[in-house]
């Protein structure tokens, strides 16, 4: 696959759309149902997609939301999901080519355990593992890990920078062909090719090495998302794939150019970093059918749930103090996810939306909606790609199974006919699928 081809990752998150799960043909039980995840992974592989990707939040909504009577926010369908890193080995058993990526936070984990986990998944999947590095935007996670409040944003990214350096060092602790298992000589591994990390830094003290050989990709693929200044710096220095939350072509192109320029400053080849904006395709046989489906799903979103969701991205602003039919107010500085808050402000100002309209927009999903017949959606994707606004997309369906099936069975064949997406896998490892840096 050349760099003239789109990269496509499937982002499957139960309850992503706050209304679509209520449709008669939806299967909300995918939240905890391994058989449904297996079906989704097979669909993604049938479509020759690069990877399936899972988000993670290690907390349900904040307890004070419940205490003040926010029962809708407490019962968000996004609150129920498996630990995604546990899904990956299971999905490795039912796929052969599809990349398998999961989110794991640097703020509430330790580098050794995480490096060992994802190296293990890389072995189990024969070189298809990916780790989405996050610093946690859900402030409620802190209270599940012994803290009263979320770690400061700048401190989270400083810690993450050291964290990824330790993880990479651990992944490099064994040289190629270190483990020989020579029965004749009795030598199991060449100790001269095993290296102790001996890291001592501000946040971590790690001896190393890992308890396993060099994994198939050496370093599992690093995914990262974050639009803040420290987020961009970390992505440009360390990431192979950058997920981004952009809602217009020009802004996305500027973001991609910025990441590529920063990568050069860090001595990296910018062509080996892939920028994938998130999109939510809503597909119908015709444009009218797709718009009708969108309206049908949007009508199923409870108003209170939509407003509750939006409040998690406002930086602590209680939107119930305002008339919901008024324009979105200015938002305060936040210690949570800055890219989500910026997206709220951008969309509300750009489209002149009221608070309630903004809430409904984001209850349909945070990412850019591409709505229409297969050719219409493919037109939009191709336009972004050819304008160098992206290297591909993080595809976020509204619900399972139809959202996944429509994209795989209707949109992907259209992209393949245009010659902008692969018809067959050609590489062995996820790094080869994506065209990012490979290690020997």
The full set of domain ranges for the chain reads 7-283+368-434, 302-363
User: Residue 211: its pLDDT value, please?
Assistant: 96
The DSSP call for residue 302 is: -
Q: Do 48 and 423 meet the contact criterion of CB atoms below 8 Å apart? A: yes
User: Residue 228: its pLDDT value, please?
Assistant: 87
Q: Do 290 and 282 meet the contact criterion of CB atoms below 8 Å apart? A: yes
User: Residue 62: its pLDDT value, please?
Assistant: 56
Q: What is the distance between the alpha carbons of residues 106 and 167, in angstroms, rounded to a whole number?
A: 10
Going by C-alpha positions, the residue among 301, 358, 351, 300 that lies closest to residue 325 is: 358
CA-based end-to-end distance of the chain: 20
Q: What is the distance between the alpha carbons of residues 89 and 180, in angstroms, rounded to a whole number?
A: 25
Classify strands 187-189 and 179-182 as parallel, antiparallel or unpaired: antiparallel
Q: What does the block give as tokens for 203?
A: 């946040």
Q: What does the block give as tokens for 258?
A: 């910025």
What confidence tens digit (pLDDT) does each residue in 354-402 have? 988 888 888 998 899 999 999 999 999 999 999 999 999 999 999 999 9
Tell me the pTM: 0.91
Does 199 have pLDDT greater than 60?
Answer: yes
Going by C-alpha positions, the residue among 220, 203, 224, 66 that lies closest to residue 137 is: 224
- Bridge partners (DSSP) of residue 9 are 51, 394
What does the mean pLDDT of the chain come to?
91
Q: Do 240 and 230 meet the contact criterion of CB atoms below 8 Å apart? A: no
Q: Is the Cα torsion angle 78, 127, 263, 50 positive or negative in sign?
A: negative
Q: Which of 66-70, 309-313, 320-324 has the lowest mean pLDDT?
A: 66-70
Q: What is the distance between the alpha carbons of residues 256 and 249, in angstroms, rounded to a whole number?
A: 11
Q: How far is CA 263 from CA 162, 233, 269, 276, in A?
A: 18, 8, 7, 16
Q: What is the distance between the alpha carbons of residues 435 and 270, in angstroms, rounded to a whole number?
A: 11
| Count of positions (residues) in the chain | 440
Q: Of 322 and 48, which is predicted with more confidence?
A: 48
Q: What is the distance between the alpha carbons of residues 143 and 268, in angstroms, rounded to a whole number?
A: 38
Please identify which residue in the block is written with the tokens 């790690």. 206
Q: State the DSSP H helix or E strand holding residue 432, giving kind and residue range, or none if neither.
A: helix 430-434
User: Residue 4: its pLDDT value, please?
Assistant: 84
Mean pLDDT for 411-415 is 98
3-state secondary structure of 100: strand
Classify strands 129-134 and 99-105 as parallel, antiparallel or unpaired: parallel
Backbone Cα Rg of the chain: 22
Is it true that the peptide bond before 401 is cis, omega within 30 degrees of 0? yes
- In order, the DSSP letters of 143-174 are GGTT-SSPPPHHHHHHHHHHHHHHHHHHHTSB
Fold of 7-283+368-434: TIM Barrel (3.20.20)
Q: What is the distance between the alpha carbons of residues 195 and 213, in angstroms, rounded to a whole number?
A: 11
């Amino acid at each position: 696959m050349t760099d003239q081809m789109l990269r496509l990752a499937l982002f499957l998150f139960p309850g992503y759309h706050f209304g679509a799960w209520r449709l008669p043909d939806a299967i909300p039980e995918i939240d905890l149902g391994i058989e449904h995840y297996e079906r989704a992974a097979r669909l993604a592989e049938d479509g020759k997609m690069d990877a399936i990707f899972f988000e993670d939040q290690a907390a349900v909504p904040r307890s004070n939301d419940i205490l003040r009577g926010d029962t809708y926010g407490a019962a968000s369908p996004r609150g129920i999901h498996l630990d995604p890193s546990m899904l990956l080995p299971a999905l490795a058993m039912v796929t052969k080519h599809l990349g398998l990526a999961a989110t794991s936070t640097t703020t509430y984990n330790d580098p050794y355990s995480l490096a060992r986990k994802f190296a293990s998944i890389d072995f189990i999947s024969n070189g298809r593992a990916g780790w989405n590095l996050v610093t946690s935007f859900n402030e409620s996670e802190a209270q599940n890990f012994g803290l009263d409040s979320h770690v400061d944003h700048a401190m989270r990214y400083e810690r993450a920078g050291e964290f990824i350096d330790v993880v990479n060092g651990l992944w490099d602790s064994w040289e190629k062909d270190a483990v020989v298992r020579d029965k004749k000589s009795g030598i199991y591994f060449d100790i001269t090719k095993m290296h102790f990390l001996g890291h001592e830094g501000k946040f971590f003290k790690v001896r190393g090495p890992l308890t396993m050989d060099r994994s198939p990709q050496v370093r599992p693929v690093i995914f990262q998302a974050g639009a803040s200044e420290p987020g961009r710096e970390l992505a440009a220095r360390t990431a192979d794939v950058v997920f981004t939350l952009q809602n217009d072509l020009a802004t996305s192109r500027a973001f991609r150019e910025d990441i590529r320029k920063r990568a050069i400053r860090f001595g990296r080849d910018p062509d080996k970093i892939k920028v994938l904006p998130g999109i939510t395709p809503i597909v119908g046989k015709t444009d009218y059918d797709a718009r009708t489906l969108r309206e049908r799903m949007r009508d199923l979103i409870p108003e209170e749930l939509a407003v509750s969701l939006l409040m998690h991205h406002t930086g602590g602003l209680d939107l119930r103090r305002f008339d919901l039919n008024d324009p979105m107010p200015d938002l305060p500085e936040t210690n949570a996810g800055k890219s989500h808050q910026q997206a709220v402000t951008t969309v509300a100002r750009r489209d002149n939306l009221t608070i309630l309209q903004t809430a409904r927009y984001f209850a349909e999903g945070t990412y850019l909606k591409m709505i229409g017949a297969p050719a219409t959606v493919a037109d939009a994707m191709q336009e972004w790609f050819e304008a160098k606004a992206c290297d591909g997309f993080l595809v976020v369906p509204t619900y399972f199974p139809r959202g996944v099936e429509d994209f795989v069975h209707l949109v992907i064949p259209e992209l393949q006919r245009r010659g902008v997406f692969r018809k067959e896998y050609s590489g062995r490892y996820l790094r080869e699928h994506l065209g990012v840096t490979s290690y020997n």
